[in-house]
Amino acid sequence: MPALEVSAVETLIVSAARLMTGRTTVFVGTGLPMLAAALAKKTCAPDLVCIFEFGGIGSPLDHLPLGVGEARTFERAYAAEGLTGIMETAQRGLIMDGFLGGAQVDPWGNLNTTVIGAHDDPKVRLPGSGGANDVGSLVWRTIILMRHEKKRFVENVDFITTPGYLDGPGARERAGLAPDTGPHRLVTDLAVFDFPPETRRARLVALQPGVAETQVRAETGFSFPVLPALERLPAPTPHELSLLRDTIDPEKVFL
């Protein structure tokens, strides 16, 4: 049989969803994080509790929401909280994971969703933090989802909207954030990076199907080490693709 054609976005979503195996709670943002969470619930993490910024807790995501405050984030949910209640839940340490994206990411996992260029005279003004700063600051681990482009992967973000490891080991703690929190993985359509404790700088640990290390370096605006036993991720399965295309996002809102 001929190989299935898989888009870069589908590859990214599937890789992120698989990281939810055995996890319990996840703070979900708009767009690709919703698709990743919905796919995880239908495959590797059926008991995953999805939590949304505006108060929805535990929706099965049978119908894809268009945003974190949309009515479908409350559909068949366990509870309908408010924004402050959700943030308090995260502050209490009760949300294990958070899916985040951004316009820029640096080697420490800091994210920018505020401005491109100087803050007071930007080239582009972006939507801002929303709840992203709270997620990156308060949940136990974050998983960053991004399209892999050199203009997005920069040595220094133009503005730190959401803290990663700031400028290295111990920086989060010095800023008043809890120990043992921060970015866990940076997942892209080309590769996966981790942030080892000894450096807290992005390290290449896996390649997506059909991708060479040289491609990753060409699309990354900062240097990075490589795990000696570099992993090759398995391709999305027909079942995962069918769920994404026919069940989760049949109208191709985000795909």
- Please state the rounded mean pLDDT for residues 153-157: 98
Q: What is the mean pLDDT of residues 19-43?
A: 94
At 164, the pLDDT band (50, 70, 90 cuts) reads: very high
pLDDT tens profile 83-125: 999 999 999 999 999 999 999 999 999 999 999 999 999 999 9
Banded model confidence at residue 32, pLDDT cuts 50, 70, 90: very high
Q: Provide the pLDDT confidence category of residue 23 given band limits of 50, 70 and 90.
A: very high
168-171 contacts: CB < 8 A, separation 24 or more? Answer: 168/108, 168/199, 168/200, 168/201, 169/197, 169/198, 169/199, 169/200, 171/108, 171/200
The CA-CA-CA angle for residues 232, 237, 241, to 5°, reads 120
In the predicted model, is pLDDT for residue 2 greater than 70? no
Please, what is the average pLDDT of the chain?
Answer: 95
Domain ranges of the chain: 8-248
Instruction: Find, among 217, 200, 242, the residue nearest to 109 by Cα.
Output: 200
The per-residue pLDDT for 4 is: 75
Query: Could you please report the per-residue DSSP string of the chain?
Result: -PPPP--HHHHHHHHHHHTTTT--EEEE-SSHHHHHHHHHHHTT-TT-EEEETTSEE----SS--SSTTSGGGSTT-SEE--HHHHHHHHHTT---EEEE--SEE-TT--EE-SEEEETTEEEEE----TTHHHHHHHSSEEEEEE---TTTB-SS-SS-SB-SSTTSTTHHHHTTPPTT-EEEEEEESSEEEE--TTT-S-EEEEE-TT--HHHHHHT-SS---EEEEEEEPPPPPHHHHHIIIIII-TT-S--
Measured in whole angstroms, the distance separating CA 5 from the mean position of its chain's CA atoms is: 24
Q: 124-139, pLDDT tens digit by residue?
A: 999 999 899 999 999 9
Q: Is the CB of residue 46 less than 8 Å from the CB of residue 24?
A: no
pLDDT at 1 over 80: no
Provide the pLDDT confidence category of residue 3 given band limits of 50, 70 and 90. Answer: low
Q: Which fold has domain 8-248?
A: Glutaconate Coenzyme A-transferase (3.40.1080)
Strand 203-207 with 141-146, pairing: unpaired
Q: Which pLDDT score, from 0 to 100, does residue 30 have?
A: 87
* Enzyme catalytic residues: 53
When pLDDT is averaged across residues 144-171 and rounded to a whole number, the result is 97
pLDDT digits (tens, 9 = 90+) for 189-236: 999 999 999 999 999 999 999 999 999 999 999 999 999 999 999 999
Q: 8-18 vs 32-42: helix axis angle to the nearest 10?
A: 50
pLDDT tens per residue, range 53-86: 999 999 999 999 999 989 999 999 999 999 999 9
